[in-house]
Each structure stands twice: as structure tokens, then as C-alpha cells.
Amino acid sequence: MVETLTPTSSPPCFWRRSWANHHHQRRWIPSAASFFVTTHKTLLTALCLAFFFTVFYWQRDAASGGFLIFRRAFPLRQLPKLRPVAFNLTEFGGVGDGVTLNTAAFERAVMAISKLGKKGGGQLNVPPGNWLTAPFNLTSHMTLFLAEGAVILGIDDENYWPLMPPLPSYGYGREHPGPRYGSLIHGQHLKDVVITGHNGTINGQGQSWWKKYRQKLLNHTRGPLVQIMWSSDILISNITLRDSPFWTLHPYDCKNVTIKNLTILAPVFQAPNTDGIDPDSCEDMVIEDCYISVGDDAIAIKSGWDQYGVAYGRPSKNILIRNLVVRSNVSAGISIGSEMSGGVSNVTIENIHIWKSRRAVRIKTAPGRGGYVRDITYRNLTFDTVRVGIVIKTDYNEHPDGGYDPNAFPVLEGISYTSIHGESVRVPVRIQGSAEIPVKNVTFRDMSVGITNKKKHIFQCAYVEGRVIGTIFPAPCDNLDLYDEAGNLVRRSSSQNSSDIDYDI
């Protein structure tokens, strides 16, 4: 049976239990809800408390971050040697006391490795400790290895952060005109770079940046935590990134990028623009096996902003995103846009668990962007307590300046949603095309989402053309054609352009 309408008030600790379970076992048990329904009330309360405390203690640990880990005694763990030559940051004068500035030590290490390119490059081991530093650059054929308990701490005094020209496809810093702050860990025109470890941490100490941003004390756009530009053959794995001043991990105009098994954290509230990963004009990219919980989109695929992005003309394409658990309390789990003026195509997003989020998956754009979003495949998404599940928004009007072409309408087409499930969703679908930006060739297949709301107006559409194959829940809007499981047309829609968008739900 396809209809799986769940009780409107799911047990208050449902998500906590699910999450605690996931966190400790990296596994998901989908039958949690039925389990609760059949269990005795007292036992239920006891379980709630037990799981609550599990999560409470985890969160307490997470809140104190690297410092807590650092207090633990580390068994001396053999670090793998991934390059012919490996260095220890201490050999370059590094001091991991959390106070000494290590910028020069990092720069000397990178300089040494930059001379080893022809011999296969070099590995820089960052041992346990708190290594305070200003921004520094990576080099080609380099592996940055963060041991267990190693924390690279970004200095939070902006005077230490270099200014860089705006990204060409944005024209602007993004928050301010003119130059922008560079990233804590930066690289341009590189090849063969690895950032990995035994779950060491890169911590941007974003708190003071977020505060200054809110108080409007900054004159330039904040810097990302890690930004790699115009580079290829990049691997980032097995580490934790946290509290970035701005976007966390920003690969810009890169090719062949693998991001695997990362934990990306920032407060889910009042940590503005701390997107997890922003693939921007990138191609041939895989993001997999990550846990991301941040103050903005967990992932946002981009390709430049309005006239600047159109002129730069570099799409994001051939991107595979899979096996993630994501949380975004203020934005969305996985986004495309809103800056997509160079185009976005051939993206697969599968096996994603989105919990306690405002939106699950969103495509956002506006007149003036130009470009396209096409051949996007969503498969096996689980929504666990989200307000709006699937979103397409075509009036995200945020422009760099008045120089954009209001008639540059993006093309949205070839978007499919298969095996979409979940619980506690207020509005499962809100696809808002417009006369200028109709959403074309959308497909829904195998969807059953438990809802928290009245059953009317929860599958909202405007200017959408496409189809539903088989039965889905909730029942689709009238804009879509209906097919049976065998692919035979059941009813052709005559109201693709009708609108049933209601932001009050």
C-alpha cells in the first residue's frame, strides 16, 4: 500500500532516538515509528529519556569540540604514509598550544612540499594539539593529514585574513562589493591535493565573524573555511570541518573532486551562510558518506551569479551526491542555486536522510539568472521532520547589482523524484514555476510522505509540466499527467499552468 499517513503527533523523542541511533551506529532503522506505537507507554517514556540523554551527552561533547577530544589521552596511532616524504608540522616550528600563531610553520611546510612535486609530493602531518593559524595556501601534490586530536584553528581577527579579488563569476564579494576575504585554507591552480586524517578538525572559530556580520561591522565578504579554485584531482576525506566564518567547503571551477566521510558542523541557528559544501562551476565530483549539520544549506550547487555567471559561463555538471545525513534548520538539506547562471546539469542525489530541517531539497533561481538546471535525479530521499520537502522556487530575487538582464530566464527541465519517503512533513511538494520560468519534464515515482497537516494544498504546483508514474502519496497536483506503473497514460493534464501555491501552510 502506498498511503502511509502517520499519526499527526509523532512521539516527541522520535527524532532524537533516530538520530542517536544513527550517530552511534551509522545505520538507520526505518521502523522506529511502528515500534513506538506498539510499545507500552511507561517503557516508551523510559526509552525517550534514555535516548534523550544519549543525545544530550553527545551534543555536550560536540559543543566543546576539539578541546574535549584533546583532553583525552591518545594512543599513539601510526599515521599512514600517503606520499614518498612525510613531514611533521613541529619540524617547521609549529606549536600546538592554541595560542602560538603557526602561519609561518604551515607556510614553510608547504614551501618544502612544493619542491617535491616531481618526486610524488609530500605529506604534512598535523599532530594532536590546537594549531592556531592565519590563512595559508596549499600546494600541488600535497597531503595535509590531521591526526586524531589535531585541530587547526583559524584566527578570528580579520586583520590576519588577506583580501582577494571577487570571484569572476560573482562580480562581487557576495555580501559586499569589491574584494573579499580569502579562505583559511586556500589553493589556486593546483593538481593532486589531499586533505585527510584520523578525524582531525579544521575549526574556523566563526562565532566572532557571525557576530560582526550581524552587527554590520565587516566591510568585506567573509571567507570560507576551505576554498580550492581552478584545480583538479582533489580528495577531502575523514576529517571534521566546523564553525566556518562563511561557506565551509568551496570548490570553485574544479574538476575531479572527491569529498568523502566528512563531518561538517556549525550551529543550526544564527551561524549565517555556513553552507556545508558549495560545488561551484565544478565538474566530475562525488560527495558521499558525510554528516552535515549547519546554519544554512548543507549542500548548495552553484555556478555564478546573474550577468557575471553568464559571462563566466562555467557550469556545474556530472555531480554525484549520495549517502548523507543532513540537517539545515534555516534553509535546505540539498540546494541547487540560487546562483546557477553558468548552468547546472547531470546531478544525481541519492540515499539522503534529511532531518529536523526547514526544507529537504530545493532548486532556487530567479529572472536575471539565465543558465539552466537540467537532468537532475533525486532518488531514495528520507524526510524526517521537515517543513517543506521538495521545493522549486523561481522568484529568489537577490541580485549583485542593477546590471542583470531581467529577461535572462533560467531553463528548468528534466527533474525526477523517485523513492521519496518520510514522516512529519508539513508540505511535501511546492513547485512554483512561473509564466517566464515554467518547470518542464518533471517526474514523480514511488513517493509516500507522512504529513503533519490537513490533506489539502500540500502538493502545491504552478507552471509545472510532467508526470506521475503509479500511485503516490500525497495525491499529486492537477498540473501533472498520470501514468500507471506500466507506463500507460491514465489522464493527461489540462491545467499545467494553474497555481496552487500557499505559503501560509
Ligand X SMILES: *[C@@H]1O[C@H](CO)[C@@H](O)[C@H](O)[C@H]1NC(C)=O
- Tell me how many degrees the CA angle 23-226-154 measures, rounded to the nearest 5: 90
Question: Counting contacts by CB under 6 A, is residue 453 touching ligand X?
Answer: no
Q: List the x/- string, 161-190, binding to ligand X by CB under 6 A.
A: -------------------------x-x--
Nearer Cβ to ligand X (33/44): 33
- For residue 504, indicate whether it is catalytic: no
Region from 45-53, 260-268, 306-314, 332-340 binding ligand X, contact rule CB under 6 A = 260-268
Q: List the x/- string, 52-91, binding to ligand X by CB under 6 A.
A: ----------x----------------x--------x-x-
Residues in the interface with ligand X (CB under 6 A) total: 50
- What residues have CB less than 8 Å from 482, skipping those under 6 apart? 467, 468, 476, 489, 490, 491, 493
Q: List the x/- string, 211-240, binding to ligand X by CB under 6 A.
A: ------xxx-------------x-x-xx-x
Question: Counting contacts by CB under 6 A, is residue 380 touching ligand X?
Answer: yes
Question: Counting contacts by CB under 6 A, is residue 463 touching ligand X?
Answer: yes
Among 169, 183, 196, 479, interactor with ligand X by CB under 6 A:
196
The residue assigned the cell 492537477 is 478
Among 132, 184, 268, 464, interactor with ligand X by CB under 6 A:
268
Angle, helices 14-25 vs 41-71, to 10°: value is: 50
Counts of helices then strands in the chain (DSSP H, E): 6, 30
Question: Counting contacts by CB under 6 A, is residue 137 touching ligand X?
Answer: yes
Joined grid coordinates for residue 488: 500507460
Please state whether beta strands 249-252 and 226-229 pair in parallel, antiparallel, or not at all (unpaired).
Answer: parallel
Region from 38-46, 295-303, 346-354, 454-462 binding ligand X, contact rule CB under 6 A = 346-354
Among 156, 158, 275, 296, interactor with ligand X by CB under 6 A:
158
Look at residue 359 and give its three-state secondary structure: strand
Among 311, 320, 411, 501, interactor with ligand X by CB under 6 A:
320
> 497: how many CB neighbours lie within 10 A of its CB?
16
The answer to whether 384 touches 423, Cβ cutoff 8 Å, is yes
The answer to whether 21 touches 50, Cβ cutoff 8 Å, is no
CA distance 353 to 350: 9
Among 256, 418, 453, 499, interactor with ligand X by CB under 6 A:
256
CA distance 480 to 350: 23
One DSSP character per residue, 43-84 reads HHHHHHHHHHHHHHHHHHHHHHHHHHHHHSPPP-PPPP--SS
Q: Which residues bind ligand X (CB under 6 A)?
A: 28, 62, 79, 88, 90, 125, 127, 137, 147, 158, 186, 188, 196, 198-199, 217-219, 233, 235, 237-238, 240, 256, 258, 260-261, 263, 268-269, 318, 320, 329-330, 346, 348, 351, 353, 375, 380, 382, 414, 416, 435, 438, 441, 443, 463, 496-497
Could you give the residue numbers annotated as active site? 296
